[in-house]
Amino acid sequence: MLPKIRTGIGYDIHPLVENRPLILGGIEIPYAKGLAGHSDADVLTHAVADALLGAAGEGDLGRHFPDTDPKYKGIPSLLLLEKVRDILKEGGYAILNIDTVVIAQAPKLTPHMDRIRARIAKTLGLEEDAVNVKAKTAEGLDSIGRGESIAAQAVCTIVGES
């Protein structure tokens, strides 16, 4: 029998606000603003989680961890990603690879990429070379380009028993 190979895509965007830490991929990034949201608003981790859940046919992050549930208020998104990892394991899936992009006009993310990649890989029990993290700007266009928000996209491939 052939293995069941599936691909998922995830996307998230949150506004930047004062008086919040900026968390991306579970790493706090020094910056004057942070992302607003019910959890720690880590758009990168949310995009990865949505991609993984989608590949497994398990809906999205909001289905499993609704923002209407007070127990998720302020929760670190890496804890949610661990729960998503467990959902995949229970479904008989293993993660093959993850490719991501963070879209932010500022701050510069290149100095933090290795730590972000390592944190996501460790959280999911993967080798670091199974996780790729890129950063792009919005070239001054839209809410991202004006420095009002940050977004992230993720694509993943998983394999399961057929």
Cα end-to-end span (Å), the chain: 7
β-bridge mates for residue 13, sequence order: 151
CA separation for the pair 39, 29 (Å, rounded): 16
How far does Cα 87 stand from its chain's mean position?
A: 16
The model's pTM = 0.96
Q: Which residue segment(s) compose the domain that 128 sits in?
A: 4-160
Number of structural domains the chain divides into: 1
Burial class of residue 115, CB neighbours in 10 A (0-12, 13-18, 19+)? middle
pLDDT by residue for the chain (162 residues), tens digit each? 678 999 999 999 999 999 999 999 999 999 999 999 999 999 999 999 999 999 999 999 999 999 899 999 999 999 999 999 999 999 999 999 999 999 999 999 999 999 999 999 999 999 999 999 999 999 999 999 999 999 999 999 999 976
Burial class of residue 66, CB neighbours in 10 A (0-12, 13-18, 19+)? exposed
**CATH number of the domain encompassing residue 13:** 3.30.1330.50
